[in-house]
Amino acid sequence: MATGRNFLRAGRRGNRLAPFAVLALLLSAGLAPAAQKPTPVPQKPTNDECLACHGDPTLNKEVDGKRVSLFVNPDAFKISIHGGMFTCVDCHTDLKTSPHVSTPAKVSCATCHAEEQAVYDRSYHAKAIKAGDGQAATCVDCHGSPHELLPASDAKSRVNHVNIPATCGSCHGQKQMMEASGHSAQPFLSYEDSVHGRAVAAGSEKAAVCTDCHGTHEILAASDPNSSIFKFNVPATCAKCHGAVKQEFMQSIHGQAITRGNSQAPVCTDCHGIHTIKAPTDPNSSVSAQNVARVTCARCHEGVRLSQEFGVPGRRVATYLESYHGLASELGSQVVANCASCHGAHNILPSSDPRSTINRANLVKTCGQCHPGVTEKFVAAEVHVNAPLSADTGSIAVRWIRKFYLGMIALVIGGMVLHNLIIWRRKALLRRQVEQRVVSRMSRNQRIQHWLLLTSFVVLVITGFALKFPDSWFAALLGMGERVRGITHRVAAVVLIGVGAYHLFYIIFSRDGRRLVEDFLPVPKDASDAWRILRYHLGLSAEKPEFARFNYAEKAEYWALVWGLIVMASTGIMLWAKVVVGNLLPRWWLDVATAIHFYEAVLATLAIVVWHFYQVFFDPDVYPMNWAWWDGKMSFAHYREEHALDAATLLEAARTQPAEAVEAEPVIPATGEPAAAGTATPQGEQEPVNSHK
């Protein structure tokens, strides 16, 4: 009731005030100004308005002293992914009018693609840019100009699957660009030649491209645990295409080790390569039949690292290569068993695993793939015979047999060598005593030079090739370390160079030396002599050519020696003083010197063995040896046979030696008949000498 009364009283008061309220309203309405019209919102510039200027191919401006094109291809923009969805000012939001005077702000792709930008900011490329590498890839480097951007599904898009290699290759295939940032272009070049690269080039839309393995926006370094190419992530990355293989691999002994975090275990790229992946049928593939043992499996299973760390037997590859399988593989067999033939490829398991192809219960089936009909007895023997950790009967027997035969070889062959050496020595001495060797062929001075040259040359050959071929028998024969070998080689080199320097002094300042060089000088007759001697020994001519003090072969050998000494000495000194030479000349000069030094050594060694040793040891006319190198003497008949035109030497021998020594008729070793030859008269006249006329 009280509330009702209060309401009535309020109503009566409101009735009394109503006239005043109406009056106030009228006054306010008369005094208020007229209402203003709303300001119209300016229209955004259309694409056509923007392209009215930017569609001009000649439109450009100067930026930092360079002319930069401002042209936007209208046709390309209209069919681009942006042209069909947005206007120019949707990206260039700071431009309100067309034309505009102010320079537009740089457009950020993150405005629409914030998630992709965030991922890119964590990538290797973004970090490189922050570190100051101005050549690292940005959005437009991969996707192209925003005005001509095409969807990845478009065959012309830079990020279409088949175009990815070319897009990445625009940077990663450029040698100078990559080297400038401390990287190499070889990975990309290797990819182009890989099974994946060739398949993509042939039009395959399924073969792996760069982004399939490295990712798209979040490309990370291989050392980053989050990277798709981090070692422990490689199986999952390859499984994008090779899922079944990955499942098989992860169950293998290698996959189990990777799961446990063992970084020593191999993953896909350790066996197949990274960018160089090739088909197993390719001879250059690391998993081809020829390479799987020697190249791929040997990296881990040949050395002692696995033995020391995990107790896995070593020398598995060496014992395989010593077997028939290995030897046949080395000879190029495409069907002989290799590591994968027995152990499997991706499903490798220890022999203790019942699923393993080399488990005792499965060996008949495994060996039976190549040898049908094998039984348990056949497969009971060890395959890697004589492996260090093998204690089976076969391996022990083979080791003892090897020891026995090595001893027998040393004893029997050594005895044969000693036996023949004794006989050869006796025959050589008898020939030396029987022959009336009265012609002086080499003076004492010349023999000393020859001995020093011979000794230093032999030492240089052995110590030099021991470095080039450290596993050779002569390297093992030396039994010396690299320090001793190097010192010995250099000492022999000094002796050889010293002999060469002395010989130069000898031929300049000594009468015998000057005559020696004069007699060694080539003459036109030498060329015809070479042809005539070959015709004679082939039976095409009955006339044997005659020679002076040195024939064409001896002259060629002398000047070859001079040339070889100069080449070997100069290149050897360069390699000895490599730091000095490397500071004065480009580094590749040392590489060239090394190559010349090695191949000249090979040439010289073969020339001595094939050419010079024949003249001294193997020529039937001098067998078993021409003793001139030892005491400088030759028989009168032999010298007359070989150097009939050297009248001065023959006359000197005739004057100074007994008549019976000069007139003796030695037996020609090749025929067993007396040699009929001309004689040198005291007056210096010489009869034509040709025992075969």
- At 393, the pLDDT band (50, 70, 90 cuts) reads confident
What φ, ψ does residue 8 adopt, rounded to 5°?
A: -65, -40
Q: What is the DSSP letter of 362?
A: G
**pLDDT beyond 70 at 513:** yes
The answer to whether position 182 is within a domain reads: yes
Helix (H) or strand (E) run with residue 628 in it: helix 628-631
In 3-state terms, what secondary structure has residue 63? strand
Query: Domain check: are 526 and 578 in the same one?
Result: yes
Which residue, among 56, 146, 45, 52, has the nearest Cα to 87 in the 3D structure? 45
Both structure tokens of 681:
């008269």
Predicted pLDDT of residue 26? 42
Q: Hey, how many other C-beta atoms are within 10 angstroms of the C-beta on 133? A: 15
Return the bridge partners of 63, or none: 66
- At 211, the pLDDT band (50, 70, 90 cuts) reads very high
Distances (CA, A) of 192 to 66, 76, 186, 188, 287: 36, 30, 10, 6, 19
Predicted pLDDT of residue 237? 95
Residue type, 52: A
Q: What is the CATH number of the domain that holds 645?
A: 1.20.950.20
Q: Hey, how many other C-beta atoms are within 10 angstroms of the C-beta on 235? A: 21
Predicted pLDDT of residue 39? 57
- At 451, the pLDDT band (50, 70, 90 cuts) reads very high
Predicted pLDDT of residue 126? 92
Query: Domain check: are 408 and 476 in the same one?
Result: no
* Domain that includes residue 57, residue range: 44-99
- Domain termination site, one of 376, 411, 431: 431
The answer to whether position 268 is within a domain reads: no
- At 22, the pLDDT band (50, 70, 90 cuts) reads very low
CA-based torsion, 92, 94, 96, 101: positive or negative: negative
Query: Domain check: are 508 and 592 in the same one?
Result: yes
SS3 sequence of 9-40 = HHHHHHHHHHHHHHHHHHHHHHHCCCCCCCCC
Which residue, among 457, 475, 505, 497, has the nearest Cα to 601 in the 3D structure? 457
Query: Domain check: are 469 and 579 in the same one?
Result: yes
Residues 85-122, buried b or exposed e (16+ Cβ, 10 A)?
Answer: eebbbebbeebeebeeeeeeeeeebeeeeeeebebbee
- Do the Cβ atoms of 601 and 464 come closer than 8 Å? yes
Q: Dihedral of the CA atoms 389, 394, 397, 403 (nearest 10)?
A: -60
Query: Domain check: are 457 and 605 in the same one?
Result: yes
**pLDDT beyond 70 at 5:** no
Query: Domain check: are 408 and 550 in the same one?
Result: no
The answer to whether position 28 is within a domain reads: no
**pLDDT beyond 90 at 558:** yes
Of 169-183, 286-300, 417-431, the one with minimum mean pLDDT is 417-431
- Do the Cβ atoms of 426 and 613 come closer than 8 Å? no
Query: Domain check: are 578 and 462 in the same one?
Result: yes
- Do the Cβ atoms of 317 and 298 come closer than 8 Å? yes
- At 382, the pLDDT band (50, 70, 90 cuts) reads confident
Query: Distance between CA 94 and CA 87 in Å, rounded?
Result: 13
Predicted pLDDT of residue 36? 57
Average pLDDT along the chain: 83
The answer to whether position 178 is within a domain reads: yes
The answer to whether position 23 is within a domain reads: no
- Do the Cβ atoms of 363 and 301 come closer than 8 Å? no
Give the tens place of pLDDT for each residue, 44-63: 888 888 888 998 999 888 88
- At 517, the pLDDT band (50, 70, 90 cuts) reads very high
Query: Domain check: are 195 and 312 in the same one?
Result: no
Name the H helices within 155-267: 164-172, 175-180, 186-192, 195-201, 210-214, 234-238, 243-251, 253-259
More confident residue, 95 or 472: 95
The answer to whether position 687 is within a domain reads: no
Of 5-9, 183-187, 601-605, 636-640, the one with minimum mean pLDDT is 5-9
Query: Domain check: are 350 and 459 in the same one?
Result: no
Strands (E), 250-310: none
CB under 8 Å to 347, separation ≥6 — which residues?
Answer: 248, 249, 251, 252, 355, 357
- Do the Cβ atoms of 268 and 238 come closer than 8 Å? yes
The answer to whether position 221 is within a domain reads: yes
The answer to whether position 33 is within a domain reads: no
Query: Domain check: are 411 and 542 in the same one?
Result: no
Predicted pLDDT of residue 24? 47
Kindly state the percentage of the chain with pLDDT values over 90.
42
Q: What is the DSSP letter of 231?
A: G
Query: Domain check: are 396 and 380 in the same one?
Result: no
Query: Domain check: are 497 and 371 in the same one?
Result: no
Q: What is the DSSP letter of 161?
A: G
Give the tens place of pLDDT for each residue, 573-617: 999 998 898 889 888 898 899 999 999 999 999 999 888 888 888
Return the bridge partners of 667, or none: 674
Overall number of domains in the chain: 5
What φ, ψ does residue 277 adopt, rounded to 5°?
A: -60, 125
Q: Going by DSSP bridges, is the β-strand pair 633-635/66-69 parallel, antiparallel, or unpaired?
A: unpaired
Q: Hey, how many other C-beta atoms are within 10 angstroms of the C-beta on 57? A: 11
Compute and round to an integer the Cα radius of gyration of the chain: 46
